[in-house]
């Protein structure tokens, strides 16, 4: 199935992905992981929630950790370009018969919550409290020195359908993986902000969140994180990598937080803002697709993900088999 043509004039203007809210079962344990190990900065906290930002970010938060009885994902947040886009976005979702609820969120202006057709909880806003820049306060750099949130990757039970819906919202495909037998798309990477992706979809039981990724300055920061995790009791939380992806050409590492939420540490992908940039096609059977150096991903990487609050999951339509490490 061919990749649909990009929507160059979408019905509303998404600037970029913005934030994620995780339900976590032990807030103190999650704080230790995200703050002391990864190096995210606390911008607000109370008994139930911790708000975090990365070093380059001026917005108040890119992650909310919320104490919960069970691990889950409450929302994926996206920033819109300007205030008129909010009503246009709400009209888009209402036109699809999807629920739109205007909500009050701490540290944020006007905001509505909705979901995609598969139940992924989404949040759109324009204004979030702006904080002073800290990217040159080098004494604050810690852990892997996270600079900014980079992307969400979701398991999707039908990637072709996900591409069509997110494509309507203006996300443009930069790279994709095709199953040679069926011609169906097995995975796709789509962007708004001019990198390889803001959102990606991977074939699998879905919808579930596969991972949230953070951009770091260099691959050496990833090596430093591995040394830190390996000597502070987090060796079992290291899942895959380090390595270089074939797709996106980025240097990567996947780690799991105390609840199993998967976090990717990511750097050095490429610029994609040309409207006529041709998507790069990969074969599912190409071992360099996942890892340029050829090492396959472990089974957990294809099977485990975080549940979205309120979304019902189902098996994927496409049964094609990726290359899995023995």
- Residues near Fe ion (CB under 5 A): 153, 213, 264
Query: 249 is written with which tokens?
Result: 């050409």
- Quickly count: other Cβ atoms within 10 Å of residue 259's Cβ: 19
| Tally of helices (H runs) and strands (E runs) in the chain | 5, 18
Rounded to whole angstroms, how far apart are CA atoms 206 and 158?
8
DSSP state of 2: P
Query: 209 is written with which tokens?
Result: 């969140």
Q: Which of 217, 194, 181 is nearest to 54 (CA)?
A: 217
Q: Are 198 and 190 in contact (CB under 8 A)?
A: yes
Q: Which is nearer to Fe ion, 126 or 253 (CB)?
A: 253
Q: How many CA atoms lie within 13 A of 273 on its CB side?
A: 5
Query: 194 is written with which tokens?
Result: 């001019």
Q: Are 301 and 239 in contact (CB under 8 A)?
A: yes
Query: 113 is written with which tokens?
Result: 């919550």
Query: 15 is written with which tokens?
Result: 């600037």
Q: How far is the CB of 148 from Fe ion (least distance, A)?
A: 14
Q: Which is nearer to Fe ion, 63 or 213 (CB)?
A: 213
* Exposure b/e, 89-107, CB count within 10 A at least 16 = b: bbebbeeeeeebeeeebeb
Q: Which is nearer to Fe ion, 61 or 245 (CB)?
A: 245
Q: How far is the CB of 305 from Fe ion (least distance, A)?
A: 12
Angle (CA) 267-273-275 rounded to 5° is 145
Rounded to whole angstroms, how far apart are CA atoms 53 and 147?
9
φ and ψ of 80, to 5 deg: -95, 165
Q: Are 222 and 253 in contact (CB under 8 A)?
A: yes
Angle (CA) 61-107-82 rounded to 5° is 85
Q: Which is nearer to Fe ion, 112 or 215 (CB)?
A: 215
């Amino acid at each position: 199935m061919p990749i649909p043509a990009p929507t160059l004039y979408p019905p509303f203007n998404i600037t970029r992905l913005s934030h994620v809210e995780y339900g976590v079962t032990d807030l103190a344990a999650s704080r230790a992981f995200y703050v002391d190990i990864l190096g995210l900065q606390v911008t607000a906290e109370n008994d139930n929630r911790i708000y975090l930002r990365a070093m380059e970010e001026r917005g108040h938060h890119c992650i909310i950790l919320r104490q919960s009885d069970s691990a889950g994902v409450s929302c994926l947040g996206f920033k819109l370009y300007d205030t008129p886009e909010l009503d246009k976005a709400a009209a888009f979702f209402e036109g699809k018969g999807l629920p739109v609820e205007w909500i009050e969120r701490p540290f944020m202006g006007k905001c509505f919550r909705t979901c995609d057709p598969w139940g992924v909880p989404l949040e759109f806003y324009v204004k979030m409290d702006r904080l002073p820049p800290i990217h040159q306060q080098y004494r604050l750099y810690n852990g892997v020195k996270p600079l900014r949130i980079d992307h969400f990757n979701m398991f999707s039970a039908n990637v072709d359908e996900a591409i069509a819906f997110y494509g309507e919202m203006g996300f443009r495909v930069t790279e994709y993986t095709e199953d040679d037998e069926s011609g169906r798309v097995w995975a796709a990477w789509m962007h708004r902000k001019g990198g390889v992706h803001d959102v990606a979809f991977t074939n699998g039981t879905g919808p579930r969140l596969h991972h949230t990724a953070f951009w770091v300055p260099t691959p050496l920061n990833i090596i430093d994180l591995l040394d830190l995790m390996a000597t502070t009791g987090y060796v079992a939380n290291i899942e895959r990598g380090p390595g270089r992806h074939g797709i996106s050409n980025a240097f990567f590492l996947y780690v799991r937080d105390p609840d199993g939420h998967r976090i990717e540490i990511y750097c050095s992908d490429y610029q994609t803002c040309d409207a006529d940039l041709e998507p790069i096609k990969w074969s599912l059977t190409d071992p360099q697709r996942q890892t340029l150096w050829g090492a396959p991903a472990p089974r957990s990487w294809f099977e485990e993900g975080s549940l979205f609050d309120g979304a019902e999951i189902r098996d994927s339509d496409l049964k094609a088999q990726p290359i899995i490490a023995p």
